Amino acid sequence: MAVTQGTPAIVLSGLSKSYGAVHAVRGVDLSISHGETVAILGPNGAGKTTTIDMMLGLARPDAGRVTLFGRTPADAVSAGAIGGMLQTGTLLRDLSVRELIGMVASLYPNPLSIDDVLSITAIDEVADRRTHKLSGGQAQRVRFAMALVSNPNLLVLDEPTAALDVSSRRDFWTVMRRSAASGKTVVFATHYLEEADAYADRIVFMTRGRVVADGPATEIKAKVGHRSIRATLEGPGAEELGALRGVVGVDRRGASIVLRCQDSDQALRDLLARYPNVRDIEVTGAGLEDAFIELTGDPAEEDTSSEARA
């Protein structure tokens, strides 16, 4: 399908959906440009899957609109412009992996070569195995292959690495990087904060059906993030340390100190000047984990209040 530069890849406007009394998605507005890699993060029940299902035209919004490359999801999907990988869903049984990928390829106008896709997704070794005899991680890779084979401009992936072991996860992201580098737009939902941090240009945080933050990982970290200085230092009390310039909070446990800093460079200079015997110094940025908790509330609380895990 011809892709007009300038038209965003994805536009969600005022998107809402309820399941009975559950407001799964409440007024989401989002515009994603060509070539962006965007992670959707959020606790269980935040509305990530519901949003993705609406993007792929699998669920109907109660209100609002989805536009993919200026078209409806149904049109964009049937043109082969979109590759989707769902969080759940079984593979067709009684077909080999190769047959299944071949069948999907035959539905689209410009598919990739089946052998290439089998090799990119590292399932060539199980290509002749029946789909119901695959391990969880292998089945996951087959689902990824199904998303790739139509050679889509946009990949939409719901927790693509959920069942993968560490090395498969790394391989998966290598393939994704290549796809993103070749100009594809990628949207993925994940619970792995480090994954979003490492692979996404942009992070969209959702909680309770709403987008609560949207920006580059670094910006989101900066929003909530203070850096911390950890060190070993006997002597000065919390009050004395708290008086150092740039320090906003002090935590002392035995000889270990943690200084929460609003200006860690200044704090470090003062700390070294005042206490030359300070040692084991480490400066750490705020992790996405901190951002996550700060922006979405306590995820543990969300888990139990949602019925997503019933």
Q: Residues interacting with Mg ion, by CB under 5 A?
A: 48-49, 87
- 209 with 46: CB under 8 angstroms? yes
Residue nearest to Mg ion (CB): 49
Structure token pair of residue 102? 């071949």
Asked whether the beta carbons of 183 and 1 are under 8 A apart, the reply is no
Which residues, listed in sequence order, are joined to residue 71 by a DSSP beta bridge?
68
Reading the block at residue 67, the tokens are 């536009």
Residue 49 or 151 with smaller CB distance to Mg ion: 49
The residue within the footprint of ligand ATP, chosen from 47, 84, 152, 246 (CB under 6 A), is 47
- Degrees, nearest 5: CA angle 176-12-29: 110
Provide the minimum distance between the beta carbon of 146 and ligand ATP in the complex, in angstroms, as a whole number.
20
Select from 46-54, 119-127, 223-231, 294-302 the region that touches ligand ATP (CB under 6 A): 46-54
The span from the CA of 33 to the CA of 5, in Å, is 9
Residues 6+ apart with CB under 8 A from 278: 231, 232, 233, 271, 272
Shortest gap between Cβ of 281 and ligand ATP (angstroms)?
Answer: 38
Residue 96, burial from CB neighbour count under 10 angstroms (0-12, 13-18, 19+)? middle
Q: Which of 29, 234, 251, 307 binds ligand ATP (CB under 6 A)?
A: 307
Our CB check for Mg ion shows the closer of 114 and 156 to be 156
Residue 296's binding partner among ligand ATP, Mg ion, none (Cβ under 5 to 8 angstroms by kind) is none
Minimum CB distance to ligand ATP, residue 12 (Å)? 14
Q: Which of residues 257-276 bind ligand ATP (CB under 6 A)?
A: none
| 3-class state of residue 195 by DSSP | helix
Residue 86 main-chain phi, psi, to 5 deg: -90, 160
Closest distance of CB 159 from ligand ATP, Å = 7
CB of 273 to ligand ATP, least distance (A): 48
Distances 185 to 164, 217, 278 between C-alpha atoms, Å = 22, 17, 48
150 versus 296: smaller Cβ distance to ligand ATP: 296
- Residue 251 vs 307, nearer CB to ligand ATP: 307
Name the site residues for ligand ATP (rule: CB under 6 A): 19, 22, 24, 42, 44-50, 87, 306-308
